[in-house]
Amino acid sequence: MKYPCPIINDLLPLYADGVCSEESRQAVMEHLKDCACCRKEYEKMEQYAAQNKKYDFAQAKSTAFISTDSLIKVRRELLIKRILTAAVAVLLVIGLTAGAGIFLKNNVHSVVYNPDSQNIRVVQEPDGDIIARLYGTEWESVYSRTIELEDGQNAVIFSMTSSSWDDLMIGDNTASEYLIAGNGKDVGQIEQVYFLSQPVNELSYDQLTQLFANHPEQFTLLWEKQ
């Protein structure tokens, strides 16, 4: 034998792929004729290559089996799915927004006086009307009650409710006005106006006067007759 088996073994892959030089090809061919061992190695290699090819072919075939029609169908299904997803998302957003709006609208609470921002102010207009102004939130309801103080003077106690929606939507520089006392006769009897950060309407007259006597710190004096 012209060449030792290890050299032929090294050449076998090139030979099998048909990429070796003509000289090498001749040498391998001659060697394979006489050497059963290397021939066996070569056959194994061929078998393996054939199997791989078969595998590749099967892969190619399975891809080829997806016809254009079914591809279009798949694409259409994807498009419909995408449109449905978008529609559901839009509906969900609308639903959530409406739901959140209704929830916030219904979430009514007492307006609390903030001494820093003085969100509630009471002023007397030139025409004599006593006006309460609420800044930064729209009121839902205003409750007021006139009580007689120990010294016989009259005071108006008022409270306001607002919704969470208004807290969110109404800017701080927006003011809503509420008439505490109109026409001269009413105004003339009022000496003081207090704000209470809890619903006045939920207290009876007696409860209110008792609260005023026992916890004056809960009442904020916002206006006093000059």
In the complex, the residues that contact Zn ion under the rule CB under 5 A are 5, 35, 38
- Cα distance between residue 220 and residue 226, in whole Å: 17
For residue 131, give the nearest of 177, 183, 186 by alpha carbon: 177
Chain residue at closest Cβ approach to Zn ion: 35
CB of 59 to Zn ion, least distance (A): 35
Closer residue to Zn ion, CB minimum distance, 5 or 90:
5
Complex with Zn ion: residue 9 or 110, whichever CB lies closer: 9
Does residue 113 sit in helix, strand or coil?
coil
Which residue, 31 or 165, is less far from Zn ion as judged by CB? Answer: 31
Cβ at position 62, least distance to Zn ion in Å? 40
- Give CA–CA dist 121/113, Å, rounded: 10
CB of residue 46 to Zn ion, shortest distance in Å: 16
Q: Which is nearer to Zn ion, 37 or 149 (CB)?
A: 37
Q: How far apart are CA 220 and CA 157, in angstroms?
A: 9
Whole-number minimum distance, CB 38 to Zn ion, in Å?
3
Tokens describing residue 95? 């639903």
Cβ proximity to Zn ion: between 42 and 158 the closer is 42
The CB-of-72 to Zn ion minimum distance in angstroms stands at 57
Find, among 119, 125, 122, 184, the residue nearest to 157 by Cα: 122
| CA gap 204, 202 in Å, rounded | 7
- Our CA angle for 118, 121, 122, nearest 5°, is 160
